[in-house]
């Protein structure tokens, strides 16, 4: 029972990110949405860390600045920048479903990075996950709810965040989590800013209620509340906590259907089942 309510709430909030992003990109260029989110979220976390908590010895060293910059490039600039760009062309449900495959990509990337043999269940889990995304996407391509370009951008984003996770795990981090997260989000926004200024159409972007509700939802319920729930679940039982990720694509498709009128078909159900099966296989090795 200690995990039931927090677990359900985590999955529900975490899965809402795709729908919130989809609303945002309907009224503003994806990179503008991303940059505003990064600067507000990153600045807020740094303000909390340095002005409110006042952590001792929490200023990054030269080596830590280098690591934070590489991590920010992979985890924020490329991953979240590409993800929000992809959702301009891909349904929110598919965006949520693809995010659920992250653990599979991470296991494969870590095997490659650490030069260890790739376990059969890891490889099969990733293949099942990719097959599930393909099955769920198939009818959406015909009905303009997804494009091949958008799916490729989404795949690129998944690879980048997996590399970021493996890179992060290589080091023992001295800094508090909120300092690491604050700097990597803020630096990621700085690195994305030149691309935004060169490519985004500010004239066509509407900084209206929809835009700001999207930004604030992505910051407070997703980046703050959902992550705090995740940390709580991991402290209780890391293995059990990971199982709540299986519910995220289900919540994601429910949101996309109810809020955005995106279709749920037999392909959606079958694809989601394949992704969940791939996650289970990749994490446990069981049939």
**CA dist list (Å): 51 to 47, 143, 190, 220:** 5, 50, 21, 19
**pLDDT single digits (tens) 132-175:** 877 877 777 766 677 889 889 988 998 898 888 888 888 888 99
Query: Cα–chain-centroid distance for residue 170?
Result: 20
When pLDDT is averaged across residues 259-273 and rounded to a whole number, the result is 84
Q: How far apart are CA 105 and CA 124, in angstroms?
A: 11
pLDDT attached to residue 190: 97
**pLDDT single digits (tens) 82-108:** 999 999 888 888 888 777 777 777 777
- Residue 167's domain comprises 4-284
pTM of the model: 0.84
Q: Which residue has the tokens 């200690």?
A: 2
Q: Which of 204, 169, 137 is nearest to 67 (CA)?
A: 169
* Domain total in the chain: 1
Structure tokens at 274: 């394949």
């Amino acid at each position: 029972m200690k995990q039931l309510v927090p677990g359900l709430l985590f999955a529900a909030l975490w899965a809402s990110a795709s729908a919130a992003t989809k609303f945002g990109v309907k009224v503003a260029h994806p990179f503008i949405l991303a940059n505003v989110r990064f600067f507000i979220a990153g600045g807020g976390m740094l303000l909390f860390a340095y002005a409110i908590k006042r952590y001792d010895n929490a200023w990054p060293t030269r080596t830590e600045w280098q690591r934070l910059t590489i991590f920010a490039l992979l985890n924020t600039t490329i991953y979240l920048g590409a993800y929000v760009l992809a959702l301009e062309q891909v349904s929110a449900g598919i965006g949520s479903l693809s995010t659920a495959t992250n653990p599979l990509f991470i296991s494969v990337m870590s095997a490659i990075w650490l030069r260890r043999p790739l376990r059969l269940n890891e490889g099969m889990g990733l293949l099942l996950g990719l097959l599930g995304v393909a099955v769920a996407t198939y009818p959406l391509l015909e009905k303009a709810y997804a494009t091949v370009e958008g799916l490729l951008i989404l795949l690129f984003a998944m690879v980048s965040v997996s590399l970021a996770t493996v890179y992060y795990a290589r080091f023992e981090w001295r800094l508090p989590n909120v300092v690491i997260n604050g700097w990597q989000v803020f630096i990621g926004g700085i690195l994305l800013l030149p691309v935004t200024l060169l490519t985004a159409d500010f004239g066509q972007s509407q900084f209206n209620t929809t835009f700001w509700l999207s930004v604030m939802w992505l910051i407070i319920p997703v980046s703050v509340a959902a992550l705090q729930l995740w940390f709580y679940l991991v402290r209780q039982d890391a293995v059990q906590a990971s199982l709540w990720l299986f519910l995220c694509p289900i919540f994601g498709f429910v949101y996309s259907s109810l809020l955005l009128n995106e279709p749920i078909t037999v392909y959606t159900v079958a694809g989601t089942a394949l992704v969940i099966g791939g996650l289970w296989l990749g994490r446990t090795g069981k049939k």
